[in-house]
Structures are given as structure tokens and as C-alpha cells.
Amino acid sequence: MQRLYRKRIVLGVGGGIAAYKSAELVRRLRDQGAEVRVVMTHGGREFITPLTLQALSGHPVHLELLDPEAEAGMGHIELARWADLVLIAPATAELLARLAQGNANDLLTTLVLATDATVALAPAMNQAMWRDPATQANLELLASRGLKVFGPASGSQACGDVGLGRMLEADDLAQLAADCFQRQALDGKHVLITAGPTQENIDPVRYITNHSSGKMGFALAEAAAEAGARVTLVSGPVHLPTPDRVSRIDVVSARDMLAACEAAMPCDLLIAAAAVADYRPEVVAQHKLKKDPTTGDGLFLQMVRNPDILATLAGRDDRPFSVGFAAETENLLDYASRKLRDKNLDLIVANDVANPTIGFNSEENAITIIDREQRQTSFAQTSKGKIARQLIAFIADRLNQA
């Protein structure tokens, strides 16, 4: 399994001969599933070219603190926020000294001061420089501030000396980088989530829909991504920002949603939180329908059933662990249990949309989960974000037991 799957790593390359190892390190980090952005000091560029690291990382290399194009959007701050881990390899004696002093006189040192991510150092220097009391004092100070120190190793050095000071090999550094992260509940899983309403056209200007805001589904997508999953979010028409690290597919009708879900398969986990229209007009008028005086005050629409997205996906030969939602206004648990059975689901999440404090468009929710054995687990009313995290943790536990 890729232990660094979807993790964001900024690799800082200092000015030492060990910088040549950074090329292999980028490859090893990406082999583990990480996304890597490289920041180089001026000294680092003397030992390995930015073009090499750009080709290996798949992203432009960041070089200057005062880059007019990047700084239009405060680029160094955005990079600091983007990172899950800042790994500096090689970390030279000079770079360690600047970090210990809290300097911000280039892009890399500024980024270290600005980030909330874990910062790890892979020292690389001559054995005498490593043993020097100033270097050891700087390392002790940096470690006391929470920075991690990886290595160094002992062995022959470029200068001909033998001793401590060699930068660890790329495989070892990639392993230590992975150890900075706890294993998450949905690591390596593909999660498909539907959210929001669908719209079924009557004519070019009118449609049938419902009051779903999509907030619960989007909160679930965010929580699943936080739990380490690769998340595909298929959403009906809503006005919500896409959660970080979530792949979003926008659709309109129920048939559009089914097609998008089938194209996104296979997945390990399906969470169907969308409020899908059960019916659609049999015929969609090509032009806006006008009032017809011969029919009185009424308008007759012939409706037909939409495909059942959840039952279709849960009935596949490669069916995922399937979780549905039952949004009801009466007989909540009875209707939810019936839906669980009829659609061949593993879990059903029931919520009372007749309650205005937890219904459509509200910021809070309260749910009851029912499993195949009709066991019920309830989560008290709280924000949809918190409910989503509780629900993802519950589902992940059941999924990993399956």
C-alpha cells in the first residue's frame, strides 16, 4: 500500500553535494503516493538543476522568495498552507544555523516559519562540521521546537573523510516521511459520494427539484478525504465550494447522476446522500409551455420513474460497501429499514427532514444508522461537519470489518 497516498510534501533542497540524492528522493516519495513540490536554495541549484527536479516531481520548482508572478497570490504562504510535511534534504550546517536563528531570508526558511506542517531535517555535512558544538546546539534547539531530525548516517564522505554526516538514502527518508503520518481509517480506499438535488426538466425554463442543499454530502466528502480516501463527489446543482482533495463531477438530472456514478466505478465505498428525484416528466417540451385556455386552470404532466441509482449500484457484480440515506417526514425508522432491505444496502442513515432544525438547508443534523441486522446507532444533533466525521468513522470501522 502507498503509505504517503495523497500526502503533500514540500521537499527543500539545500546547498550540499548530497543534493544529488534529492532526485531519487522525489521518485521514492511519489512511488509512495505523495504529491511533491520542490523548493531549492541558491546553493542547492549549484549541485542539481531545477529542471531535473521539475521533471521528476511533475511541478515547477520554487526558487525565489520574491517571485512577482507567484507573490501576486502570496505564493510562499500558499505553499506553506499546502504542505502536510516539509522535508529538508539535504539540510546543511549553514541552513540549520539559519533555521535555528529564525531567519527568513530566502523562500525555504520563510516557508518553514510560515507553515503549520511537520518539518523534518535530513542533515548532510562533513563529519567535523557535524561534531562541531555550534551545529549540535542548533540541532538541539530545532528539535526542542518540534522539528524532526532524520539521520545522519555514518560512512565515507565526498571529501574523503569517514564518519557521521552522510545524508540518509532516499528509501530510508521516504520511510521516515511516511512514519510522520498516522494510518487513517480510509487510506487507499476509493469513496464515491452523491450529494445535492437533481433537476428534471419540464421545458427549457422550468424543472422539478427538491430542497436539498448538498451540505451533508459535501461534509461527508470532506470527512472522507480527511480520513485518507480518494473521493469522487457526484453533485447535483448546488452552490457549495469543492472540498480540498476531492474530485467533483457536476450533474443535473437523475440519469446524469447515474451515468457519472457508473463511469466513476469501481469504488470501495458508496455513500448515496443525494436527494434524487423519483420521477421525471415523460416528455420535455422543446419550448416554454404556455397557458392553454382550453384546459382551464390545470396543467397535466405525465410522469415516469427515474432509474434507482442506489439500487443499481448496490446490485452490481462488483458492488461496493453501500450506504444510503433515508430522508423522511414520518415513520422514519420503518421506512429506512424497508429501504435498507429493498436496495440491498449495508447501512442506511435515517434523518427526519420534517424537523426544521435538521432538515434541508439547515446547518445541523441528527441521524440514526441501521445495519443489516436492524441494529440502530444514533448520533445526537450537532453540526453537519461533526456528524459527517462521526459517520465516516463509523462506516470505515464497518467497512474494514467486512
Domain ranges of the chain: 8-179, 190-282+299-401
Is residue 325 annotated as involved in ligand binding? yes
Q: Which residue has the higher pLDDT, 290 or 95?
A: 95
Set of cell numbers at residue 7 = 500526502
Note the pLDDT of residue 81. 86
Note the pLDDT of residue 296. 66
Which of 109-113, 136-140, 158-162, 313-317 bottoms out in mean pLDDT, i.e. has the lowest? 158-162
Does the pLDDT value for residue 268 go beyond 90?
yes
Q: Which residue has the higher pLDDT, 295 or 178?
A: 178
Burial of 255 (C-beta count, 10 Å sphere; 0-12/13-18/19+) = middle
Taking the model in full, what pTM does it have?
Answer: 0.75
Is residue 309 annotated as involved in ligand binding? yes
Note the pLDDT of residue 1. 46
CA 57 to CA 48: how far, in whole Å?
A: 14
pLDDT band at 183 (very low <50, low <70, confident <90, very high): confident
pLDDT band at 68 (very low <50, low <70, confident <90, very high): low
Three state DSSP letters for the chain:
CCCCCCCEEEEEECCCHHHHHHHHHHHHHHHCCCEEEEEECCCHHHCCCHHHHHHHHCCCCECCCCCHHHHCCCHHHHHHHHCCEEEEEEECHHHHHHHHHCCCCCHHHHHHHHCCCEEEEEECCCHHHHHCHHHHHHHHHHHHCCCEECCCEEEECCCCCEEEEECCCHHHHHHHHHHCCCCCCCCCCEEEEEECECCEEEECCEEECCCCCCHHHHHHHHHHHHCCCEEEEEECCCCCCCCCCEEEEECCCHHHHHHHHHHHCCCCEEEECCECCCEEECCCCCCCCCCCHHHCCCCCCCEEECCCHHHHHHCCCCCCEEEEEEEECCCHHHHHHHHHHHCCCCEEEEEECCCCCCCCCCCEEEEEEEECCCCEEEEEEEEHHHHHHHHHHHHHHHHHHC
Does the pLDDT value for residue 94 go beyond 80?
yes
- Which distant-in-sequence residues (6+ apart) come within 8 Å of 57 by Cβ? 11, 26, 30, 36, 37, 38
Is residue 291 annotated as involved in ligand binding? no
Note the pLDDT of residue 73. 46
pLDDT band at 71 (very low <50, low <70, confident <90, very high): very low
pLDDT band at 90 (very low <50, low <70, confident <90, very high): very high
Is residue 318 annotated as involved in ligand binding? no
pLDDT band at 161 (very low <50, low <70, confident <90, very high): confident
CA 396 to CA 274: how far, in whole Å?
A: 20
Is residue 21 annotated as involved in ligand binding? no
How many residues are given for the chain?
Answer: 402
Does the pLDDT value for residue 284 go beyond 70?
yes
pLDDT band at 70 (very low <50, low <70, confident <90, very high): low
Catalytically annotated residues: 159
Note the pLDDT of residue 72. 47
Does the pLDDT value for residue 293 go beyond 80?
no
Fold equal for 8-179 and 190-282+299-401: yes
Is residue 300 annotated as involved in ligand binding? no
CA 59 to CA 56: how far, in whole Å?
A: 8
Mean of the pLDDT values across residues 260-280? 96
Which of 27-41, 191-205, 355-369 bottoms out in mean pLDDT, i.e. has the lowest? 355-369
Which of 22-26, 260-264, 362-366, 367-371 bottoms out in mean pLDDT, i.e. has the lowest? 362-366
pLDDT band at 295 (very low <50, low <70, confident <90, very high): low
Note the pLDDT of residue 6. 80
CA 274 to CA 214: how far, in whole Å?
A: 7
Does the pLDDT value for residue 75 go beyond 70?
no
Set of cell numbers at residue 129 = 562540521
Does the pLDDT value for residue 259 go beyond 90?
yes
Is residue 310 annotated as involved in ligand binding? yes
Does the pLDDT value for residue 261 go beyond 70?
yes
Mean of the pLDDT values across residues 146-169? 85
Of 56-70, 78-92, 255-269, 374-388, the range with the highest mean pLDDT is: 255-269
CB 165 within 8 A of CB 137: no
Does the pLDDT value for residue 211 go beyond 70?
yes
Say which CATH topology domain 8-179 has. Answer: Rossmann fold (3.40.50)
Does the pLDDT value for residue 160 go beyond 90?
no
Does the pLDDT value for residue 361 go beyond 80?
no
Percent of the chain past pLDDT 70, that is, above it, reads: 96
What is the rounded average pLDDT for all residues in the chain?
A: 90
Say which CATH topology domain 190-282+299-401 has. Answer: Rossmann fold (3.40.50)
Q: Which residue has the higher pLDDT, 68 or 311?
A: 311
Q: Which residue has the higher pLDDT, 5 or 388?
A: 388
| 239, amino acid identity | H
